[in-house]
Amino acid sequence: MYIPRKWVKATGTGELPDGRRFPTTAWGWGDDDNSASKEAKSRLQKILERMRRGEGYPEKYSYGDRPVKEEILDVIGAKETDKADAVVTRNRHGVQVLNTARILFLDIDLPPFSGFQRLLSKLGLRRDDSAEGTLSRLRETLQKNSGTTFRMYRTAAGFRVMAVDRKFDPAGREAAELMKATQTDSAFMQLCQVQKSFRARLTPKPWRCNSPSPPVGYPRDDNTDQQKFAAWLVKYEAAIPGYATCHYLETVGSGRPASFARDSVALHDRITRCTEALPLA
């Protein structure tokens, strides 16, 4: 698992062959300011050289093609993030995320429910069977992995699965095949492979609990940005107690959480409030 502790931004001016000039930035990451700064400068030079050759500014990085730029809130196990059992981060939406080195998570979204289908369901004229059908197929797929115990959860958008009694390699073939078999979100799969970890959201998404998105991103080096974020965080944390992030459904398999997973499972279930009768967010 690799989650950088430090992020540094390098700035410069890029020039195209026709003489046009553009302000240019590049982010670098590392375990300390020095290594992150070197990475940022190196990446900036590559971008400037690319622009000088007339190749244009590189496309914006997509979800999962580099380590996530997230604030580290807690480390479970070893102090170094690349040796830890789990790391809790805060993502760009301001929510807490559990990143695990060997505890497999699967994220399965349900197909979109159209407005017409929703109306029929409210009128009692048609029942939505997509959730029940997806859950049944998911259960059958997991049962084929008889040597593994899985905890299953309902989320606002679908289902979450956590393997609790054996280790998985985030970049390994077995995890990839299981993700494909369960139709796990493709962007989630890519991020797991790049970051070399699995991840699961712990706290509600702001827009699902009537809270605005964070006014500033991370890192927040400016005092003004720190104050803005602190004010947002107070409001967000006041909005989330009435919601759960997921609901525990059932366990597939007869095992119990292994020693390497117990703390992470307990933390996940406590922060997500998965056993409480609260609306999902």
Domain span holding position 22: 6-52
- pLDDT tens, 187-229? 888 888 888 899 999 999 999 999 999 999 999 988 999 999 9
What's the pLDDT at 118? 55
- 154 with 236, same domain: the answer is yes
- 43 with 153, same domain: the answer is no
- 47 with 174, same domain: the answer is no
- 24 with 90, same domain: the answer is no
Residue 225 placed within a domain: yes
H or E element that contains 199 = strand 198-201
Residue 58 placed within a domain: no
- 43 with 77, same domain: the answer is no
- 48 with 158, same domain: the answer is no
What's the pLDDT at 25? 92
Q: Enumerate residue ranges in the chain where pLDDT < 50.
A: 61-62, 125-127
- 165 with 197, same domain: the answer is yes
138, 153 Cβ separation under 8 angstroms: no
Q: Which residues contact 206 (CB under 8 A, 6 or more apart)?
A: 93, 94, 95, 212, 213, 214, 236, 239
Rounded to whole angstroms, how far apart are CA atoms 161 and 243? 20
Residue 65 placed within a domain: no
Taking phi first (over 0 means left), then psi (-120 to 50 degrees means alpha), and beta for anything else, what does residue 2 get?
A: beta
- 245 with 108, same domain: the answer is yes
Domain count, the chain: 2
Neighbours of 78 (CB within 10 A): 11
What's the pLDDT at 119? 59
Residue 92 placed within a domain: yes
Residue 17 is given by DSSP the state: T
- 164 with 253, same domain: the answer is yes
What's the pLDDT at 113? 62
What's the pLDDT at 142? 96
Residue 279 placed within a domain: no
Rounded to whole angstroms, how far apart are CA atoms 96 and 54? 41
Strands 150-155 and 6-15, by their bridges, are unpaired
- 38 with 77, same domain: the answer is no
92, 217 Cβ separation under 8 angstroms: yes
Residue 24 placed within a domain: yes
Residue 265 placed within a domain: yes
Residue 281 placed within a domain: no
- 77 with 160, same domain: the answer is yes
- 95 with 47, same domain: the answer is no
